[in-house]
A and B are shown apart, each in its own frame.
Chain A
Amino acid sequence: MTNQAWETLSNQAVGACGVVYFLALLAALAEWAIGVGARSRASAVNAGVKVGPGVESADVVLPETGSSAGPSDRALMLGRLTLLLTIIAVGVHAVALLGRGMAADPHRVPWGNMYEFTLSGTFVVAAFYLAGYARFKLAWMAPFVLLFVVTVLMVAVLWLYEPVSPLTEALNSYWLVIHVVSAVISTGAFTLGGLTSLFLLLKTRWPSATWLQRVPGPLDLDRIAYRMHAFGFPVWTFAVLITGPIWAHEAWSTYWNWDPKEVWAFITWVVYAAYLHARSTAGWRGRNAAILALVGLATLWFNFIGINYFSSTSQHSYAAPVEPAAHSVLVLGRT
């Protein structure tokens, strides 16, 4: 296949996986709606009958799977459909990434600019969702993960798209693979963890809201969120504080430049460190820790997209116009 063919394939695959993600989202929303309808009827019945002693704690009223009435066959079918569509979409998404990498001459990993980084980031979020689907019982999360992935993919295609091009010189290093892959992986884990923390907050605020009945109880949410952050944090440490500095040292002679991108990566790291500490500090557990996790997520995504619009400082910006682009591309993925 020619480079052009690979690039076309990649573009078509991005479009296709967007459509399939969207169909999956529709299925997930339908399942959610049926579930909520069924359960609100069921809880109305329960409330009328006043089922004896078991109804003391919120956890009993809202069992973790939310299956008090037993999900209807249609809801089950839709749930399976959502999962199937998501799996297909992730597969097509992988093809899109592969095509991006094969289209470049020489072949390379598909994260040379913002568009490609976003493509990889959304892929990792979706793939992690599938990986944790059974282990953490993440079915309830489907509409939100899919909504996130569809939205971000759309942003990528509409505003961030760039044709395939060779890497700038400073990017041309095997550290690109190690550094960026670890950053992307932790971004995926933090995003899923942040979503879970968001629902922890909602669930704590409105423990018996009908539309939140599918969501697990606060204790489970807290544990899932912690697991995801605990996975993401060491990987982020590796990306930002080990491979980043090593590469920066090779490319620009200083391992830490206080470049805005580095500063924000450091801020993200500090906030997540605070989150981990907060979880074991009296008075900060639960709600406050969840808020910290969301702050961390906000700094993470701000660093990825937002900082580009506030600052374009770069250490080599006047003497050598070839390298400065490299710096911003390197860390920002922007050309």
Chain B
Amino acid sequence: MTDLDRRPGELTLGELLRWTWRQLTSMRTALILLLLLALAAIPGSLIPQSDVDALKTSNWQADHPTLTPVYEKLGLFSVYDSPWFSAIYILLMISLVGCIIPRCLVYWRALRAQPPAAPRNLMRLPDHLDYPVDEPVDDVLARAAVVLKQRRYRVITAADAVSAEKGYLREAGNLLFHLSVIVVLVGFAVGSLFGYKGGVIVMVKGGFSNTLTQYDDFDAGSLFDPDRMEPFSFDVKGFDAEWLVSGPRAGMAHKFDSQLTYRETPDGPEHDYDLRVNHPLKIGGTEIFLIGHGYAPVFTIRDGDGNVTFQGPVVFLPVDQTFRSFGVVKAPYAKPTQIGLEGEFYPTYDYTRATGPFSAFGNALNPRVSLLAYVGDLGLETGEAQSVYSLRKDGLKLLKKPDGSMFRVDLGVGESVDLPDGAGSVSFDRVERWNKIQISRTPGTGTALTGVCLALLGLLGSLFIRPRRVWLRARRSDGSTIVELAGLDRSGGGDVGAELAAIRSAMQTAGADTELEEIS
């Protein structure tokens, strides 16, 4: 095929690829991609994200039945790993690499280059000045070379002029910044591919060992290998929190302190550790955080036959700052019918006609429970997964008093009550506490942190180092020497005028010094 066969505007594959590459690596495209990235990040901050807050997301989805399928198709519930978000940052990275690698090569050559020769007419440059002196041309040039070298310029002297350049590190900083961005991304990717994060509620006086089955919720990267989980275990020996009883934050707890004893390996020695907020425990590459706490009332349930069918602490989840907590008790082995309880726990019970029962304080000063009782089929045999925090009520019957009025299991510590219809009895024995522990392993954190710090260093270089070229020419005219001084700022932001003035005064001071030396 000859060139004549081609219609105007037609490109061969190679040309098309080259054109695409050039477009992609142009600064304009990079700018647009940056803005797109900013724009694309917005929806994720307005719509609840399933990997940030699963509960909130499912609530939102329940409230918006028409929007949900559309949003789901668009990946709006997990924006930050959606294909379109990834597309933008991958394109941005390609653009960045395509821009940086050629610039590294250029920079490598420029590093060893000499300052360019002085332009013929220095007075045409935007920043310039000239002044007469009495000395011969060579002395002026020699002194200029010394002065400029003192000011950390790279200097080369020609017959009638001195060329000088400095600020090579600006471009180095620029390149370092962009390369570090890639390092950060690699660190981030390693963390999200190989890392995991899990949460578990551990009873105070209870324990935990690091295997997958022990977690309440667990979220791992796609290349995570459960065999590489560190085999540590710990017991929560005790837990303290201080409650503020006065001041504007009254009712708030602080100084949480969970006393752990842990072993790094099953047969390793025991260590003690005070687990506090902002003070995680690190075992190998895994970190353990205290992120919450709450109450677990201990119940004893006897069934209709009078046998103890359930006994133990039940985790109630706090719903507000007063630790009013919600929970469910299930007694599937009760005879003749299964028993289920659902309701609230109040650490400091109080009651007004207007508000009904409420908790006046987060500390367990006057703990009470108020539960509704159900009998029937709890639905546990169906094999369907069921949350321990909710009751499936299709097979259950709400128990009422014989006169048909509402029946509630309202108990203080140590009290018990018989259920109507001879279904059994419930006693509230005492209150235990639990800690919510988060455990995570994020490899690549060090890489990401190093990358960010290097990026900052590069950024500082690229913003504050000023690349400059300065030329000085001396020529004889009417029995005196005219010194012409001109400069160019290659970053397009600095004031070269001030630099030239500084060089001039340095030249004159140096000149005065040598004259003094000659006289003495």
Q: Is the CB of B317 within 8 A of A230?
A: no
Q: Which residue of A lies closest to B495 (CB)?
A: A223
Q: B460 an interface residue at 8 Å Cβ cutoff?
A: yes
Q: Is the CB of A165 within 8 A of B248?
A: yes
In the assembled complex, the CB of A318 is this many whole angstroms from the nearest CB of chain B, namely: 5
Contact of B52 among A166, A259, A276 (CB under 8 A): A259
Q: B308 an interface residue at 8 Å Cβ cutoff?
A: no
Binds A, one of B13-21, B253-261, B338-346: B253-261
In the assembled complex, the CB of A185 is this many whole angstroms from the nearest CB of chain B, namely: 15
Q: A317 an interface residue at 8 Å Cβ cutoff?
A: yes
In the assembled complex, the CB of B184 is this many whole angstroms from the nearest CB of chain A, namely: 8
Q: Which residues of A contact B495 (CB under 8 A)?
A: 223
Q: Is the CB of B318 within 8 A of A226?
A: no
Q: B271 an interface residue at 8 Å Cβ cutoff?
A: no
Q: Within the assembled complex, what's the spacing in Å between the Cα atoms of A238 and B453?
A: 8
Q: Is the CB of B280 within 8 A of A253?
A: yes
Q: Within the assembled complex, what's the spacing in Å between the Cα atoms of A163 and B250?
A: 12
Binds B, one of A12-20, A68-76, A307-315: A307-315
Q: Is the CB of A168 within 8 A of B252?
A: yes
Contacts A223-B493, A260-B45, A318-B55; is A253 near B35 (CB within 8 Å)?
no
Binds B, one of A59-67, A201-209, A243-251: A243-251
Q: Which residues of A contact B460 (CB under 8 A)?
A: 234
Identify which of B42, B252, B256, B440 gathers the most chain A CB atoms within 10 Å of its CB. B252
Q: B247 an interface residue at 8 Å Cβ cutoff?
A: yes
In the assembled complex, the CB of A119 is this many whole angstroms from the nearest CB of chain B, namely: 17
Q: Which residues of B contact A315 (CB under 8 A)?
A: 52-53
Interface flags, A256-280, vs B, CB<8A=1, else 0: 1111100110110011011011111
Contacts A237-B455, A254-B197; is A169 near B445 (CB within 8 Å)?
no
Contact of A321 among B256, B320, B449 (CB under 8 A): B320
Q: Is the CB of B292 within 8 A of A316?
A: yes
Q: Is the CB of B31 within 8 A of A278?
A: yes
Q: Which residue of A lies closest to B440 (CB)?
A: A253
Contact of A234 among B28, B323, B459 (CB under 8 A): B459
Q: Is the CB of A263 within 8 A of B278?
A: no
Contact of B53 among A223, A237, A317 (CB under 8 A): A317
Contact of A319 among B51, B197, B199 (CB under 8 A): B199
Q: A170 an interface residue at 8 Å Cβ cutoff?
A: yes
Q: Which residues of A contact B318 (CB under 8 A)?
A: 319-321
Q: Which residues of B contact A257 (CB under 8 A)?
A: 52
Q: A322 an interface residue at 8 Å Cβ cutoff?
A: yes
Chain B contact-residue range equals 35 or more
Q: Is the CB of A258 within 8 A of B438?
A: no
In the assembled complex, the CB of B399 is this many whole angstroms from the nearest CB of chain A, namely: 29
Q: Is the CB of A250 within 8 A of B280?
A: yes
Which residues of chain A from 278 to 296 have any CB-CB distance to chain B below 8 Å in the complex? Answer: 278-281, 283-284
Contact of A320 among B27, B28, B292 (CB under 8 A): B292
Q: B106 an interface residue at 8 Å Cβ cutoff?
A: no
In the assembled complex, the CB of B508 is this many whole angstroms from the nearest CB of chain A, namely: 25
Q: How many residues of A contact B (CB 8 A)?
A: 68
Q: Which residue of B lies closest to A163 (CB)?
A: B248
Q: Which residues of B contact A318 (CB under 8 A)?
A: 55-56, 317
Interface flags, B201-242, vs A, CB<8A=1, else 0: 100000000000000000000000000000000000000000
Q: Which residues of A contact B252 (CB under 8 A)?
A: 166, 168, 322
Q: A172 an interface residue at 8 Å Cβ cutoff?
A: yes
In the assembled complex, the CB of A78 is this many whole angstroms from the nearest CB of chain B, namely: 29
Q: Is the CB of A267 within 8 A of B292?
A: no
Q: Within the assembled complex, what's the spacing in Å between the Cα atoms of A242 and B45?
A: 21
Q: Which residue of B lies closest to A226 (CB)?
A: B493
Q: Which residues of A contact B293 (CB under 8 A)?
A: 320, 322
Q: Within the assembled complex, what's the spacing in Å between the Cα atoms of A165 and B464?
A: 41
Q: Which residues of B contact A151 (CB under 8 A)?
A: none
Q: A241 an interface residue at 8 Å Cβ cutoff?
A: yes
Q: A128 an interface residue at 8 Å Cβ cutoff?
A: no
Q: Is the CB of B34 within 8 A of A274?
A: yes
Q: Is the CB of A242 within 8 A of B453?
A: yes
Q: Which residue of B lies closest to A310 (CB)?
A: B46
Q: Is the CB of B291 within 8 A of A252?
A: yes
Q: Which residues of A contact B38 (CB under 8 A)?
A: 267, 270-271, 274, 299
Q: Within the assembled complex, what's the spacing in Å between the Cα atoms of A307 and B293?
A: 28
Q: What is the predominant secondary structure among interface residues of chain B facing chain A? A: mixed
Q: Which residue of A lies closest to B492 (CB)?
A: A280
Q: Which residues of B contact A283 (CB under 8 A)?
A: 28
Q: Is the CB of B319 within 8 A of A321?
A: yes
In the assembled complex, the CB of B440 is this many whole angstroms from the nearest CB of chain A, namely: 5
Q: Is the CB of A170 within 8 A of B277?
A: yes
Contact of A325 among B291, B321, B464 (CB under 8 A): B321
In the assembled complex, the CB of B133 is this many whole angstroms from the nearest CB of chain A, namely: 31
In the assembled complex, the CB of A170 is this many whole angstroms from the nearest CB of chain B, namely: 5
Q: A164 an interface residue at 8 Å Cβ cutoff?
A: yes
In the assembled complex, the CB of B257 is this many whole angstroms from the nearest CB of chain A, namely: 11
Which residues of chain B from 42 to 64 have any CB-CB distance to chain A below 8 Å in the complex? Answer: 42, 44-46, 48-49, 51-53, 55-56
Q: Which residues of A contact B319 (CB under 8 A)?
A: 321
Contact of A166 among B247, B289, B439, B440 (CB under 8 A): B247
Q: B41 an interface residue at 8 Å Cβ cutoff?
A: yes
Q: A173 an interface residue at 8 Å Cβ cutoff?
A: yes
Q: B138 an interface residue at 8 Å Cβ cutoff?
A: no
Q: B188 an interface residue at 8 Å Cβ cutoff?
A: yes
In the assembled complex, the CB of A225 is this many whole angstroms from the nearest CB of chain B, namely: 10
Contact of B35 among A252, A255, A274 (CB under 8 A): A274
Q: Is the CB of A165 within 8 A of B440?
A: no
Interface flags, A146-164, vs B, CB<8A=1, else 0: 0000000000000000111
Q: Which residues of B contact A230 (CB under 8 A)?
A: 463-464, 493
In the assembled complex, the CB of A118 is this many whole angstroms from the nearest CB of chain B, namely: 18
Q: Within the assembled complex, what's the spacing in Å between the Cα atoms of A256 and B192?
A: 10
Q: Which residues of B contact A111 (CB under 8 A)?
A: none
Q: Within the assembled complex, what's the spacing in Å between the Cα atoms of A26 and B120?
A: 55
Q: A233 an interface residue at 8 Å Cβ cutoff?
A: yes
In the assembled complex, the CB of A311 is this many whole angstroms from the nearest CB of chain B, namely: 6
Q: Is the CB of A313 within 8 A of B448?
A: no
Q: B168 an interface residue at 8 Å Cβ cutoff?
A: no
Q: B179 an interface residue at 8 Å Cβ cutoff?
A: no
Q: Which residues of B contact A168 (CB under 8 A)?
A: 249, 252, 254
In the assembled complex, the CB of B419 is this many whole angstroms from the nearest CB of chain A, namely: 30
Q: Which residues of B contact A242 (CB under 8 A)?
A: 449, 452-453, 456
Q: Is the CB of B292 within 8 A of A322?
A: yes
In the assembled complex, the CB of A76 is this many whole angstroms from the nearest CB of chain B, namely: 26
Q: Which residue of A lies closest to B42 (CB)?
A: A267
Q: Which residue of B lies closest to A268 (CB)?
A: B38
In the assembled complex, the CB of B64 is this many whole angstroms from the nearest CB of chain A, namely: 15
| 29 A-B contact pairs sorted by A residue (CB < 8 Å) | A162-B248, A163-B248, A166-B252, A168-B249, A169-B253, A169-B254, A169-B277, A172-B277, A172-B278, A234-B463, A238-B456, A241-B456, A245-B448, A250-B278, A251-B289, A253-B287, A255-B445, A258-B44, A258-B49, A263-B45, A267-B42, A270-B38, A274-B34, A281-B27, A283-B28, A313-B52, A313-B53, A319-B294, A322-B256
Q: A254-B440, A318-B55, A322-B321 are in contact. List 6 more A-B contacts (CB 8 A).
A: A254-B442, A263-B45, A270-B34, A307-B45, A319-B201, A320-B436
4 cross-chain pairs, A with B, having the tightest CB-CB distances, nearest first:
A320-B292, A260-B45, A165-B248, A263-B45
